[in-house]
Amino acid sequence: MRRVAIIGVGYVGFRSISPDLSFKELMFEAAVRAYEDAGVCPRRDIDAFVTCEEDFAEGRSIYNIHTPDNLGAVLKPIHTLPAEGIYGIIDAYMLIRTGLMDTVAVESHSKASNMLTPNYLIAHAMDPINRPLRFNPYFIAGMEMNRYLSESGTTKEQCALVTVKNKANALLNSSAAYADRISIEDVLNSEMMFYPLSRLDISPPADGGIVFVVACEEKAKVLSKKPIWIRGVGWCSDTPNLETREWGEAIYARLAGEMAYRIAGIKDPRKEIDFAEVDDTFSYKELQHLEALKLCRRGEAGFMVESGATQRDGEFPVNVSGGSLGVGRLEEATGLQKVLEVVLQLRGEAGKRQLPNVKVGLAQSWRGLPANSGAVVILSNE
Does 93 bind other proteins (CB under 8 A)? Our answer is yes
Pairing of strands 360-366, 4-15: unpaired
Backbone angles phi, psi at 234, to 5 degrees: -155, 145
Tell me whether residue 32 or residue 171 sits nearer to other proteins (CB atom).
32
Q: Residue 276 pairs with which residues in a beta bridge?
A: 318, 362
| Number of other residues whose CB lies within 10 A of the CB of residue 179 | 18
CA-CA distance, 268 to 148, in Å (whole number)?
24
Tell me whether residue 128 or residue 356 sits nearer to other proteins (CB atom).
128
Site string for other proteins, 110-149 (x = CB under 8 A): -x-xxxxx-xxxxxxx-xxxxxxxxxxxxx--xxxxxx--
Does 303 bind other proteins (CB under 8 A)? Our answer is no
CB of 39 to other proteins, least distance (A): 15
> Which span (15-23, 278-286, 305-313, 339-347) binds other proteins, by CB under 8 A?
15-23
The binder of other proteins chosen from 174, 239, 297, 308 (CB under 8 A): 239
CB of 1 to other proteins, least distance (A): 5
Q: Please report, as residue ranges, which positions from 306 to 365 form the binding site for other proteins (by CB under 8 A).
A: none
Contact indicator for 160, 187 with CB cutoff of 8 Å:
yes
Dihedral-angle region of residue 368 (phi above 0 means left; psi in -120 to 50 means alpha; beta otherwise): left
Q: How far is CA 379 from CA 89, 215, 249, 295, 297, in A?
A: 11, 14, 25, 16, 23
Tell me whether residue 123 or residue 346 sits nearer to other proteins (CB atom).
123
> Which span (230-238, 276-284, 289-297, 342-350) binds other proteins, by CB under 8 A?
230-238
CA-CA distance, 172 to 320, in Å (whole number)?
9
Tell me whether residue 134 or residue 267 sits nearer to other proteins (CB atom).
134
Does 23 bind other proteins (CB under 8 A)? Our answer is yes
The binder of other proteins chosen from 16, 155, 190, 237 (CB under 8 A): 237
Contact indicator for 89, 377 with CB cutoff of 8 Å:
yes
Q: Residue 107 pairs with which residues in a beta bridge?
A: 51, 211
Tell me whether residue 1 or residue 225 sits nearer to other proteins (CB atom).
1
CB of 358 to other proteins, least distance (A): 26
Tell me whether residue 182 or residue 242 sits nearer to other proteins (CB atom).
242
CB of 110 to other proteins, least distance (A): 12
The binder of other proteins chosen from 8, 13, 85, 234 (CB under 8 A): 234
CB of 318 to other proteins, least distance (A): 24
Q: Please report, as residue ranges, which positions from 51 to 80 form the binding site for other proteins (by CB under 8 A).
A: 54-57, 59-70, 72-80
The binder of other proteins chosen from 24, 221, 298, 347 (CB under 8 A): 24
> Which span (195-203, 272-280, 321-329, 345-353) binds other proteins, by CB under 8 A?
195-203
Q: How far is CA 231 from CA 51, 106, 234, in A?
A: 22, 17, 11
Tell me whether residue 84 or residue 274 sits nearer to other proteins (CB atom).
84
Contact indicator for 334, 279 with CB cutoff of 8 Å:
yes
| Number of other residues whose CB lies within 10 A of the CB of residue 56 | 15
Does 152 bind other proteins (CB under 8 A)? Our answer is no
- Tell me which residue of 381, 382, 379 sits closest to 93, measured CA to CA: 379
Does 194 bind other proteins (CB under 8 A)? Our answer is yes
- Tell me which residue of 346, 343, 298, 374 sits closest to 84, measured CA to CA: 374
Tell me whether residue 62 or residue 352 sits nearer to other proteins (CB atom).
62
Number of chain residues interacting with other proteins (CB under 8 A):
117
The 8-class DSSP code of residue 371 comes to -
The binder of other proteins chosen from 182, 251, 272, 355 (CB under 8 A): 251
Count Cβ atoms within 10 A of the Cβ of residue 351 and give its class: 0-12 exposed, 13-18 middle, 19 or more buried: exposed
Q: How far is CA 161 from CA 27, 70, 199, 283, 292, in A?
A: 34, 40, 14, 8, 19
